[in-house]
């Protein structure tokens, strides 16, 4: 949801920027200075193209881009007397006023309230100062009140949306865990059925041979076969409890990758059998990693690889998206910490680490038998 909101905001900001450039050019009249207007519009057009690129490629909104946009809007506000005609200033309908509103909205969308509110107030204050410099007789306090209402409304709306998104993410996380448990249980039952079928067929074959009189006297071969059948039956009787029964990890991860929505997942998985609890932990972490790629990385492809290395079973999920800074994750982004790192690190002999940068993100998971 948040990704959709940010992409929409980027698209609206890009369209607004184009309208602003056209309006500023057509409305250039005294006392507008071409020496000021041309470079400022070139700067504004540059930011506009960046926003349009984000919206076109469906990439997430970058906080650094919003910070640059806010700084640019502040400069434009302070230079209003060189950029906006007097009639537009007096009417309160200048092209810069539209940019102020968009900057307030983008600050609320991109940042949490503790950052968004000071940034938006700075923009509103710069607009007030610029109006005073350009038209000292103009009443700016009504406009300031409107901007403050906009700030409060955007911050409140985004706070509610983020809380709703966190609740939705928690619900989806619980649903994903239930699906994983169902997949694990199904694979476990299939394995049990194969074992029972194998034992049944082997034992039945031995009894059939005895009943048909194939062995009419003591036979070392028969004794060996009976011993083998009894051993298989004892193993079946003494098999571990359900939550630690072995599971084919590669089969489980194949299903997890196939359920990833909005992603093409390239897989290279080695055959590996692990206890059920271990398989569930791997599946939960991989599910969250793939969901994060779909929601935040801005790409439509991912890679899922498993291997054995130095006695460990390792699983890696990688993408070529924009990456992120783990130290700056907001508190409501529980998925990375809880569903990936804590899930694997709380497993005996298990672990996880995430490396992320401008060339992509790699989630590494491991467990040592």
**Alpha-carbon dihedral of residues 145, 149, 155, 158, nearest 10 degrees?**
-150
Answer yes or no: do 115 and 250 share one domain: no
Q: Does some domain include residue 104?
A: yes
Q: Does some domain include residue 270?
A: yes
Answer yes or no: do 48 and 155 share one domain: yes
Q: How far apart are CA 153 and CA 142, in angstroms?
A: 17
Q: Does some domain include residue 350?
A: yes
Residue with tokens 């919206």: 55
Predicted local distance difference test score (pLDDT) of residue 270 = 92
Answer yes or no: do 155 and 14 share one domain: yes
Q: Does some domain include residue 43?
A: yes
Q: For residue 211, what are the contacts with CB-CB under 8 A and spacing of at least 6?
A: none
The H or E element containing residue 322 is none
Q: Does some domain include residue 12?
A: yes
Range of 254's domain?
241-369
Answer yes or no: do 19 and 132 share one domain: yes
Which CATH number do you get for residue 288?
3.30.565.10
Contact of 120 with 151, CB cutoff 8 Å? yes
Query: For the chain, what is the radius of gyration of the CA atoms?
Result: 32
Answer yes or no: do 157 and 9 share one domain: yes
Contact of 180 with 280, CB cutoff 8 Å? yes
Q: How many domains does the chain have?
A: 2
Q: How far apart are CA 339 and CA 295, in angstroms?
A: 15
Answer yes or no: do 156 and 9 share one domain: yes
Angle of helix 63-78 versus helix 95-110 axis, rounded to 10: 150
Successive 10-residue mean pLDDT values, the chain, 369 residues: 70 86 82 86 88 77 85 91 79 80 89 91 92 80 87 88 69 63 67 55 59 62 65 58 69 86 90 86 88 83 92 92 67 59 89 86 92
pTM: 0.54
Predicted local distance difference test score (pLDDT) of residue 242 = 46
Predicted local distance difference test score (pLDDT) of residue 266 = 93
Cis omega before residue 31 (within 30°)?
yes
Q: Does some domain include residue 218?
A: no
Q: How far apart are CA 44 and CA 35, in angstroms?
A: 15
The H or E element containing residue 1 is none
Strands 264-268 and 301-309 come out as parallel
Last residue of one domain, picked from the residues 169, 193, 215: 169
Last residue of one domain, picked from the residues 144, 169, 194: 169
Q: How far apart are CA 346 and CA 133, in angstroms?
A: 61
Tokens of 60: 């997430």
């Amino acid at each position: 949801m948040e990704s959709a909101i940010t992409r929409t905001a980027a698209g609206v900001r890009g369209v607004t920027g184009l309208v602003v450039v056209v309006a500023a050019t057509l409305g250039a009249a005294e006392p507008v200075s071409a020496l000021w207007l041309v470079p400022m519009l070139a700067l504004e057009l540059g930011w506009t193209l960046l926003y349009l690129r984000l919206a076109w490629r469906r990439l997430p909104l970058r906080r650094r881009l919003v910070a640059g946009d806010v700084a640019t809007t502040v400069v434009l506000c302070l230079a209003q007397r060189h950029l906006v005609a007097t009639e537009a200033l007096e009417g309160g309908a200048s092209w810069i006023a539209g940019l102020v509103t968009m900057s307030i909205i983008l600050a609320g969308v991109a940042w949490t309230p503790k950052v968004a509110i000071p940034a938006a107030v700075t923009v509103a204050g710069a607009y007030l100062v610029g109006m005073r410099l350009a038209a000292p007789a103009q009443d700016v306090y009504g406009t300031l009140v409107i901007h403050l209402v906009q700030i409060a409304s955007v911050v409140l709306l985004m706070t509610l949306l983020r809380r709703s998104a966190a609740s939705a993410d928690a619900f989806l996380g619980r649903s994903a865990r239930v699906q994983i448990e169902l997949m694990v249980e199904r694979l476990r039952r299939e394995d049990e059925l194969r074992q029972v079928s194998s034992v049944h067929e082997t034992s039945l074959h031995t009894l059939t041979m005895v009943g048909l009189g194939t062995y009419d006297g003591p036979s070392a071969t028969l004794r060996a076969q009976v011993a083998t059948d009894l051993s298989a039956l004892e193993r079946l009787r003494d098999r571990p409890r359900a939550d630690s029964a072995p599971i084919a990890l590669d089969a489980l991860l194949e299903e997890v990758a196939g359920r990833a929505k909005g992603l093409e997942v390239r897989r290279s998985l080695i055959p590996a059998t692990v206890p059920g609890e271990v398989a569930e932990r791997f599946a939960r972490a991989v599910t969250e990693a793939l969901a994060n790629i779909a929601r935040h990385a801005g790409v439509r492809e991912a890679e899922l690889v498993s291997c054995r290395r130095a006695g460990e079973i390792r699983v890696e999920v990688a993408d070529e998206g924009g990456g992120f800074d783990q130290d700056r994750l907001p508190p409501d982004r529980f998925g990375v910490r809880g569903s990936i790192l804590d899930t694997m690190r709380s497993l005996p002999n298990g672990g996880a680490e995430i490396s992320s940068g401008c060339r992509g993100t790699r989630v590494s998971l491991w467990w040592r038998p």
